[in-house]
Structure 1
Amino acid sequence: MLDGINHSITDILPSRELNSLFEYFKSIYTKERSKVKIFVSDMFTTFKSVKKRFFKDSIHIIDKYHFIRQVTWAVENVRKRIQKDLPTKLRKYFKRSKSLISKPASQLSSEQAEEVALMLEFSEELKMAYKLKELFYQYVLTQPNKTRAEKALNEWLKRAKESNLFEFRFCITAFTNWFDEICNSFDYPWTNGPLEGTHTKIKTLKRNCFGMKNFELFRKRILLSCS
Structure 2
Amino acid sequence: MSNTFKSVKNRFFKTSIHIIDRYHFIRQVSWALENVRKRIQKDISSKLRKYFKRSRSLLTKPASKLTSEQAEDVSLMLSFCDDLKFAYRLKELFYQYVLTQPNRVRAAKSLREWIRRAEESNLKEFKSCITAFKNWFDEICNSFDYSWSNGPLEGTHTKIKTLKRNCFGMKNFNLFRKRIMFACK
One-letter identity of the residue aligned with 1:181: E
Q: Measured at CA, do residues 84 and 217 of structure 1 come closer, stay the same or move farther in structure 2, by a change above 3 Å?
A: farther
Report SS of the residue matched to 1:62. Answer: coil
Give the Cα separation in 2 of the matches to 1:156 and 1:90. 31
- Is it true that 1:77 corresponds to 2:35 in the alignment? yes
Give the Cα separation in 2 of the matches to 1:174 and 1:121. 29
Q: Measured at CA, do residues 170 and 222 of structure 1 come closer, stay the same or move farther in structure 2, by a change above 3 Å?
A: farther
Q: Measured at CA, do residues 163 and 206 of structure 1 come closer, stay the same or move farther in structure 2, by a change above 3 Å?
A: same
Of the three residues 205, 212, 219, the one matched with 2:163 is 205
Runs of 4+ off more than 2 Å: 210-213, 216-227
Give the Cα separation in 1 of the matches to 2:142 and 2:175. 35
Consecutive unaligned residues of structure 2, counting only runs of 5 or more, are none
Question: Match for residue 118 of structure 2?
Answer: 160
TM-score (norm 1): 0.76
* Percent sequence identity over aligned pairs: 74
Question: Match for residue 142 of structure 1?
Answer: 100
Question: Match for residue 112 of structure 1?
Answer: 70
Q: State the 1:224 CA deviation.
A: 3.4
Report SS of the residue matched to 2:19. Answer: strand
Q: 1:21-71: per-residue Cα shift (whole Å, max 9, x none)? A: xxxxxxxxxxxxxxxxxxxxxx01111011111111111000000010000
Structure 1 or 2: more helix by fraction: 2
Question: Match for residue 9 of structure 1?
Answer: none
Consecutive unaligned residues of structure 1, counting only runs of 5 or more, are 1-42
- Alpha-carbon RMSD across the aligned residues, in angstroms, is 2.1
Q: State the 1:125 CA deviation.
A: 0.1
Question: Match for residue 52 of structure 1?
Answer: 10
Contact 1:74 1:167 in 2 (8 A): yes
Give the Cα separation in 2 of the matches to 1:170 and 1:218. 45
One-letter identity of the residue aligned with 2:152: P
Q: Which has the higher contact order (CA 8 A, sep 6+)?
A: 2
Give the Cα separation in 2 of the matches to 1:47 and 1:208. 30
Q: Measured at CA, do residues 219 and 62 of structure 1 come closer, stay the same or move farther in structure 2, by a change above 3 Å?
A: farther
Q: Measured at CA, do residues 182 and 109 of structure 1 come closer, stay the same or move farther in structure 2, by a change above 3 Å?
A: same
Q: Measured at CA, do residues 218 and 149 of structure 1 come closer, stay the same or move farther in structure 2, by a change above 3 Å?
A: farther
Give the Cα separation in 2 of the matches to 1:222 and 1:45. 35
Contact 1:202 1:222 in 2 (8 A): no
Q: State the 1:210 CA deviation.
A: 2.7
Q: State the 1:219 CA deviation.
A: 9.1
- What pairs with 1:1-227 in structure 2 (closer than 5 Å)? 43-210=1-168, 220=177, 224-225=181-182, 226=184
Give the count of matched residue pairs.
184
